[in-house]
Amino acid sequence: MTFSIVAREGEAYGVAVASKFLAVGAVVPGARVGVGAVATQSWARVAYIPELLGRLEAGEPADSALDSVTAMDPGGATRQVGVVGRESAATVTGDECTPWCGGVARVGDGDSAYAIQGNILVGPEVVAAMERAWLDSAGVTLPQRLLAALVAGDAAGGDARGRQSAAIYVVEPGAGYDRSGVAADLRVDDHADPVTELRRLLDEWEMYFGRPEDVRPLEGDLAAEVGHLLERVGRSPGEHGVEAALVAWAGEVNYESRLAPGGIDRRVLEALRASAAAGPAADR
């Protein structure tokens, strides 16, 4: 009833999942900073998540950990699970999972690994499309790579019963709000087009909580432009200067995670330009 990808990119671990099932993000994904990530589906056993993460943290490779927990589970034949650890990846599809069902797991040549799996799918083309999308999206952030794979699986037909929910959960040291390690934690619990909605939410999440990117120094013509834009949105630099006014504006619109001392993030600049074009009311 579900298709998912579990992956590692550098120090980041995460899961993206979609299903014709209410609130799939409440059941399937789990991850731990510096340890690994897990997706439990089909007749999901949520207890697999802490059990598998605990084994990974103790140094057990993904395939061994997965063999151990499923062997001890009387319902193991009904389970489908993907696991990625520091240097390992594994997926298992029980004999009693509903077709089409299956998966693929690999440790990449670079600093990455993935496990892709699904059940009650339109066919194996869903997993194949997800794998191609993962491989073709190298170079972007892990949340964006996971989303690319999920979008590809959805476009290939996804869950044979239709669409209802989707989720993405990614952890990475120093990421996210207050840099606590959650790089993305988003759920679309009940929606006609959940994967498309998840893509919109991820773009918003990265705007609010992402690290500064393409930072340009607040100097010369750019400083003058930013000062003018701030005046347009009712945040005149006045005697405190452009950077102080920018900090005040960013705090009001919740972009403070993207602030960079002495400079301005590319996406913050784009947002400020759009707000200035719309007028002061856009920020109030």
Residue pLDDT, tens place only, 196-223: 999 999 999 999 988 899 999 999 999 9
Among 209, 229, 259, give the residue marking a domain's end: 209
Assess whether 100 and 229 both reside in one domain. Answer: no
- Residue ranges of the chain with per-residue pLDDT less than 50: 281-284
Q: Residue 241 belongs to what domain range? A: 216-283
Task: Give the pLDDT confidence score for residue 284 in this predicted structure.
Answer: 45
Assess whether 104 and 201 both reside in one domain. Answer: yes
Assess whether 104 and 136 both reside in one domain. Answer: yes
pLDDT tens for residues 248-276? 999 999 999 899 999 999 999 999 999 99
Half-sphere exposure of 80 (CA within 13 A, CB side): 30
Assess whether 275 and 172 both reside in one domain. Answer: no
Half-sphere exposure of 32 (CA within 13 A, CB side): 16
pLDDT tens for residues 63-73? 999 999 999 99
Assess whether 274 and 154 both reside in one domain. Answer: no
| The two structure tokens encoding residue 70 | 């499923």
How many other C-beta atoms lie within 10 A of the C-beta of residue 16? Answer: 35
Assess whether 120 and 221 both reside in one domain. Answer: no
Assess whether 142 and 238 both reside in one domain. Answer: no
Task: Give the pLDDT confidence score for residue 177 in this predicted structure.
Answer: 82
| The two structure tokens encoding residue 213 | 């990117």
Task: Give the pLDDT confidence score for residue 95 in this predicted structure.
Answer: 96
Among 209, 225, 242, give the residue marking a domain's end: 209
Cα–Cα distances in Å, from 79 out to 63, 203, 235?
Answer: 15, 32, 56
Q: Are 101 and 118 in contact (CB under 8 A)?
A: yes
How many other C-beta atoms lie within 10 A of the C-beta of residue 99? Answer: 12
Q: Are 142 and 14 in contact (CB under 8 A)?
A: yes
Among 209, 231, 260, give the residue marking a domain's end: 209
Domain count, the chain: 2
CATH number at residue 50: 3.60.20.10
Tell me what the pLDDT averaged over the chain comes to. 94
pTM exceeds 0.85 for this model: yes
